[in-house]
Structure 1
Amino acid sequence: MTSVRGQGERDLSCLSQQYKSTKNVHSGLEPDILEVMVVERQMLDKTERLLDICKHPQYAKLAKQQELLLQQTTETEKDTRRHSYPLLSDSIARLGVDAGDDGHVY
């Protein structure tokens, strides 16, 4: 599912670039309106296809799994930071440095 979505997004990006180039005025000439309309239609078709993919139940399941994985990763990072700070405090204590209540190290 995600590879299809990724391909769709790349196609849409290419079409977007093509659309921008057809909208640009070249050598003082107006762009061909039919060419612009064709590219707009292709962009609309690709967008509708991406929306259909995103609505698919399989995609929703994958998106939920990805969200849970991201949440777990964030929690793991927080735990890692929480555990690494006490080690830093222990290292400072071993050096005989004392941090005062005001946050300055004495």
Structure 2
Amino acid sequence: EMDTGAILTAHANADTAHIHDRMPVVIHPEDFARWLDCRTLEPRDVADLLRPAQPDFFEAIPVSDLVNNVANTGPEIQEKGVVKPEPEKVKRQKSGANDSQMNLF
């Protein structure tokens, strides 16, 4: 016997869309029996459960860049990180550009 698992995803709700375009599907306890009833229900009968979570269900917590390396396995990878502001984008001039002359394009 082998235990397996899967994470089903749906489109992200407004709370998580800034992080990723997908989010995990959440099957609520009151829907467990229906979700697991594969003897009498077809997949189309439970497809409505595959929807984004309601707002405020998940809490987004920033983590450090340590999570980006599989070699990092200590408890410090779960410590709360700091969100750094995005750097201001600098508009660069094309090399050789001359402000004294107008551009054609």
TM-score bracket for this pair, using the shorter chain length: under 0.3
TM-score, normalising length: structure 1: 0.24
TM-score, normalising length: structure 2: 0.25
Larger strand fraction of residues: 2
Larger helix fraction of residues: 1
